[in-house]
Every structure is written in structure tokens, then in C-alpha cells.
Structure 1
């Protein structure tokens, strides 16, 4: 497959910049026992240029029929990764359109430079972990992080399984064919953050605003209440520093399987059984995944090269939580991770790490250290004001590093150049600089 010259160079085969998605209505019938998906998707979009064809990302699933604005498509060409739809009549620039697709198959994860991503079978259920390009493993989409849309999900699975998806639960209805669960996402969401989790779960609700709902195996109730019992306090802390929690709900799924790492989704986080010990052993991971609701899920990097805007911020949020709880301070953690960086290779530039290295741990730690350098240079008041302004201004939108520099400069009453002098050695250069030795008042 030829790369799209207008695509993100880190994901050159994904997305189409000639149109933008507005809403996805996904209706999925899934059999856990056989890994069989029978589905339909109605994608509402807007043409950004005149369109004689609509290209969607979809991987490994058979398309049975496509209609555009209620009329059968003139032509449908399917490949391993794409569906190209020719409407009966061209679509003018600026016009909205609706594409309805019926499709089916046995969904499976995609092989990628970052491992297996997308729809994946568990021992007894399903997990969807799609970052960065796994969304087409289960629904047709315009797979770009900067193309956010609203969503509605209706998922039918065998009765006895719980279905968890993004957004607010509208209800569930049991019938002979199984139980149908409906969810709605009213805030714009990136495709890679869309998820469906299926398993035999119990539900535990934790106090707080918003209420925190944990879906977990039945034998883990006590451990879940202990390990996730601090989440409402984390939300309160991050609300003070980052601004109000950006979504209407927060859900957590604990799978019965062990997982290599936890993962974030819009309004959700997913952990494996191995991440819950009933002794707060994974507090750091819980704090990290929660922070992504602000940085990554609400405020989303428009380009994958800027992933430090997700991971550096979430990593620094771990340090803020440790400090808040009376553990190691951000100063102590910053020095510790700086020393670790000095002991390792210094050949990665966070501003453009390369597609294969964008999830390298140095992106996380150097991004966090850049934020700590800003905090030490300009002080807590400026740091907090800048983050709250950034989160509010770009809420449910996309962001670039220049937006961060502008927010700090405005809060500090200085220039963006002065801000970049602080962050540049961490973000734009491969060496390991020192941290500011004095702290602003």
C-alpha cells in the first residue's frame, strides 16, 4: 500500500485529510465464543475539498454493502487496510455526507512497529487497545488523532458478559440474541481512543465527582476498592493543577487476564489482573492513566511526533501525586530520572523521536523533566496557571508544543523564546542538561 503524501509521516498509511469525521454510529453484534463480528457503521463527515471518492481505514473485515446519503455507492473498492467508496454523485467542498457500511468478519489486532494493536481476544472476552493505528481493526474510520468526532455505540454480546465502551451508558436490554449495551460519547474523541471491553465483570462504584465505576472480576472486589480507592483524590488533585476533569464519567476495567501494560481510552482506563494487588502497589500507574484524561484524551497532540505532550505530562502527573501523598517529591524524582538518563544513550530528540521510538521511555521522562524545569524556573503559580489555561483553551481539541510555550509565556509575562530556552535542552536536543538550581517564588 502506498503512503498518503498528506498523512502524518509517523503513520503514513492512515487517514484522509480531504474530509473530516463528525460522528460515528457503530452497531456491533459480537460472539465471544467464535470471535464473530457482524456490524454496521454510519459515518457522518464533511468534505473539505470536492470529493469524488471517500477513503476510510478498515483492516481485515469484509464489507457487504455501502450507501452514501441513502443511495447505494456507485463503486466500492476494498483492500487490506482501506475501503474506497465512490458515491453516486460527487460531494461539494463544505457539504456534509453520511456513509453507511455493513461489514463482518473475525476481528484481529494489527501488526505494527509498536506490537499488536486493536481488537484482541482475551481468554474469555475482548480488549481493544488501539494506540496509535488500531481503530480500523474493528470499525471504518478516518484514522487520524487530529480528526475527532462524537460517537454512539450499540454492542450486542452473549448474555452473561458485560460490555464497557466510551462515554455514558444509555442502557442495556436483554433479548434472545444476547444483551445489547448502548453508550454515547458527546465530547469529540480521537479514533485511537475509541474502545470496547467485553468480559464477565462485577461493578464497583467509588465516591467522588465524577463517580468512578470499576468493572472487574468477581473475586477482586476488595483489592479493587483498596487500589482504586484513591482515584477520587487523584481527580481532585489534578483538578486543582490541570483544571476540571474534562469528561462526564470515569471508568476503569480490570481484565481477568494479565496485561503487559495498562492503557488509556477516552473516559476509561484498562488494567490487567496483575496490576491490582490490594496494597497500592501500582499507584503510579493508576495516577499516570488518569492523567491521560486531561493530556492525551481531552487535549490531544495533533501529530504523533508530539507524543511527549501526552506521555511527558502523564509522567509528571505521577510525580505530582507522589509529592501530594508525602512520598518522593518532584525534585527528588526529577533528579533520579535525570541521573538514569545520564547513564544511558543520549541519542534521542523528543521533538522528533521517530515513529519506532515515540513510546521510548526517554520521551516520557525527558518530557516530564522539561515540565519540571518550567515549574522550577517560573514557580508553582505560573506553572499551574499555564496548565489550567492550556487545558481550558484546547479542551476536546488538539495541541502542538507551541501552544504549551505560549501558555507558559502568557502566564509568566515573558516571551515564548524565554520559555523555549528552558525546555529546549530537554525537547529539542539529545544531551542531558542540568535542572534549574533556583526555584522561583
Structure 2
């Protein structure tokens, strides 16, 4: 994500906490199953996500009417039980659930706040793969923070854009909405004829009839739910290819010339970060939508009002390796996403603008806002996208580079996303990986730059 200002996410955390519910259950029945936890105890969003199962695939079938703002959906969710389940939860904000089945049998539905509790007819066995189908509809919510940044379902004059970081994906489909539970996706959406509907991954099908057009998109590589997107409107869509053959699907209003640079920038980043981890790339550009930020939605980053420039494009493309392929284990690890993406901007400024990385480091060091808190330990949910996560996070990487040398550092840049490709990783995982790759103890770097509470005396540390 590129914010240009910190996002005040505390209001979202309060909203989720207020939605606290429990699957009270009876301690298991038939097979001795227990209710799955209503939340994964994330340090910043403790009620986000759900325990007891791991989602493998989402098949979302949606219909949207821009005139009324009504969304009608069916979520077909394939998951594996990580315990014997008598009941389990899904995260869903605002929309009405009309019914649900588990493995074809009707399930009891209980709704409280942002939690939907499903009680299947019989227990789901530990280790079993099971299928949940939820029918729902309503007007999806837009969540606006104190700084004016918006997420969830953002209506436009002719459609809508869905943006999910950190909790907005709960506004348009039910699921296990924590970054630690990644899954593949198939999104089928029907809209009035004349509109485009663009999502993640690759286009599978498009058919028109009766004044409506149905689009299907497939994401074959695992994706965290906050990276899922859907853009509906009168976009100009195009497909290009990189020199290595990666399809680049774009949707834009006005088709800015900068879109033509995506293949070039993608190849440049692949030289530094390793093979591109997904089957396609691209962008969604809507200059009329002022969300307050750009977002690294998987395969297809979103750019709204005033955010589509070369440096931000480099930032969001870098996230495809750092944050999308290697996703955070919890929201405390957000700095791992943003530090690498910000450092990519510094590398771009050096290679394309003759501005040495050290100069970018010195500028970041001089900015007071970068020292508000340690990047690996934001004080509240409102701070997980604050300036230290970006600027000081990138400074941590540069201090690692100075400590271990360029050869080892660039091995880290390529090796880290390869080691955790399509998975999740924590700050502790990163610290161990860097020290093992470099073959040395970097306690001084971590203590001073990653966890230190104050600014060092000078850039030299």
C-alpha cells in the first residue's frame, strides 16, 4: 500500500471488537466436535479470521446493480478442518445471510455483528475437506477512517471498487479474513451490459445476454483475502505481455501512458527480486476514485486519485513479491510488506533517476515522523500503516545491506520471497533468514533499527 499519510485504523479495530461473538455450542456432539474460535487473536485485530479450518478455495458468484448499490452473492467455500468442528465462524460485515449449507445439508445460521456462526447438521471431522455455501445480499459497506481513507465497497458513478486492507474484504464476501489463511479464488460477477468487471488473476470467460454481462476471473495462486479486488465500471481494458511472456491485464479510465511501462518495470524488478510469482500482472486505474491510497491488490494493483505515478507503481509491483506472495503472519508483520516496497522505490530512484539509495536513506533518517515507533512494534492498529513502517522499515533493510555487503543483501532480496513463496512469514522468520543467509549475528542492527525506541545519533548508527 502507498498512503502518503498514516491511516487511522483504530476505528476499524473497535468495530471488529464490538462484533465479538462466541460459538458457545455444547462442547461437541456426535463426533466430539468443538466450535471453532471466533477470531485468531491477531495482535491488532483479535476477532479477524476464525479458528478450526483452513480455506482452500473461494468460488464467488455475484451480481451487482450500480443504480441501487445492491449486491447479491453466493460464496462457495472449500476448506479443510484443522479440528473436529461442531460449529465454525465466517467474517462478514453488514450483508444479510439468507441461508447456508455444509456439504449439501442445511446449516443453522446465527449472526452477531461481523461474525456469522454456522452449525452443520453433523460434526465436521478433523482433517476432512468440506464445502460451505452461503447465500447473501444487501448494500455493501464502505469503511472510512479518521484520515478519510476508505476501504470495503466503494461506489462510483457507474459501478464500484472493492478494496480490502486490512478488513474491507469482509464487506463483500464471507470468509476467513485474516492474511494467514490464503486460498485460491474464482470470481464470477454479472453487471449491466456496457460495464466491465475486473478482478484478480486471469480472465476465464465473458458472456453477454439479456442486457447483462457476466465475467469470470480465476486466481490459481493463493491469495490473502485483503488482496482480493473487484472493479466495476466503464473501464478501458487492454492486455499486453512482458518480454518473458507474462500477461499484463489493465483496466483504466483514460488509459494513462504509464500503463505501458508495466512490462518494463516488472522485468526490472524480476531481475532484482527473482522470478515474478504470479501468472499475470496489471493494474486498475480510476483517477476519479479518491480512496486515499494506492493498494497492492494481487496481480492487479489499484490506483485512485493522485496515486498513479512511476514511483508508486514500482512500490505496488514490488508488493507482488513482498506482501502478496510472502504474506504477513499477522498484522504486526506489516513492515515486511512496506519496507521492501519502499526500498524498491529507492532502488528505482537510483537506477532511473541517478539518486543514490544512500541519499534516500539520509532523507528518511531526517524525517521526524519515521521515528514515532519501531517498525516491528506499532503501538496500535491505527499505526500499522504509519510512516515508520515504510520509511524506517526501508532504513532497516539498508542497514542490513551495509552490515552484510551487497552480495549477501541481494541474495536476501531474491531468496526471501523464494523461501516463502505463496506462504506467510513473520518478523522472527525474517531475522533468522537474514542471519542464516549472511552467516552472521545482526543483533545490533535489529536492536537499534528494527526495535529501538529512539533515533540513533546519526545515520551511521
Q: For residue 296 of structure 2, give the secondary structure of its aligned residue in structure 1.
A: strand
1:13 Cα deviation after fit: 1.9
Contact 2:270 2:276 in 1 (8 A): yes
> In structure 2, what is the Cα distance between the partners aligned to 1:205 and 1:436?
46
Query: Where does the alignment leave 5 or more consecutive residues of structure 2 unmatched?
Result: 1-18, 22-37
> In structure 2, what is the Cα distance between the partners aligned to 1:398 and 1:113?
30
Q: For residue 275 of structure 2, give the secondary structure of its aligned residue in structure 1.
A: coil
> In structure 2, what is the Cα distance between the partners aligned to 1:113 and 1:45?
36
Q: CA 1:142/1:345 → structure 2, altered by over 3 Å: closer, same or farther?
A: closer
Q: For residue 236 of structure 1, give the secondary structure of its aligned residue in structure 2.
A: helix
Contact 2:156 2:289 in 1 (8 A): no
> In structure 1, what is the Cα distance between the partners aligned to 2:332 and 2:143?
21
2:189 aligns with one of 133, 155, 159:
155
> In structure 2, what is the Cα distance between the partners aligned to 1:359 and 1:305?
10
Q: Corresponding residue for 1:279?
A: none
Q: For 1:350-429, list aligned pairs within 5 A.
A: 350-353=375-378, 354-414=380-440, 418-429=441-452
Q: Deviations over 1:206-250 (max 9, x none)?
A: 441423232112xx23xx22x233322321222122111111111
2:63 aligns with one of 29, 39, 60:
29
Q: Corresponding residue for 2:267?
A: 236
Q: Using structure 2 for the length normalisation, give the TM-score.
A: 0.87
1:51 aligns with 2:75: no
> In structure 2, what is the Cα distance between the partners aligned to 1:273 and 1:7?
34
1:7 aligns with one of 28, 41, 45:
41
Q: For 1:233-382, list aligned pairs within 5 A.
A: 233-259=264-290, 260-276=292-308, 282-341=309-368, 344=369, 346-353=371-378, 354-382=380-408
Q: For 1:68-79, list aligned pairs within 5 A.
A: 68-73=102-107, 75-79=108-112
1:62 aligns with 2:96: yes
Q: CA 1:435/1:412 → structure 2, altered by over 3 Å: closer, same or farther?
A: farther
Higher relative contact order (CA 8 A, sep 6+): 2
Q: For residue 188 of structure 1, give the secondary structure of its aligned residue in structure 2.
A: strand
Q: CA 1:65/1:359 → structure 2, altered by over 3 Å: closer, same or farther?
A: same
Q: CA 1:402/1:35 → structure 2, altered by over 3 Å: closer, same or farther?
A: same
> In structure 1, what is the Cα distance between the partners aligned to 2:186 and 2:120?
24
Q: Deviations over 1:315-344 (max 9, x none)?
A: 111001111113311100000110113xx5
Contact 1:54 1:85 in 2 (8 A): yes
Contact 1:382 1:411 in 2 (8 A): yes
Question: Would you say how many aligned residue pairs link Structure 1 and Structure 2?
Answer: 421
Contact 1:155 1:181 in 2 (8 A): yes
1:431 aligns with 2:454: yes
Q: CA 1:183/1:345 → structure 2, altered by over 3 Å: closer, same or farther?
A: closer
1:347 Cα deviation after fit: 3.9
Query: Where does the alignment leave 5 or more consecutive residues of structure 1 unmatched?
Result: 277-281
Q: Using structure 1 for the length normalisation, give the TM-score.
A: 0.91
Contact 2:325 2:421 in 1 (8 A): yes
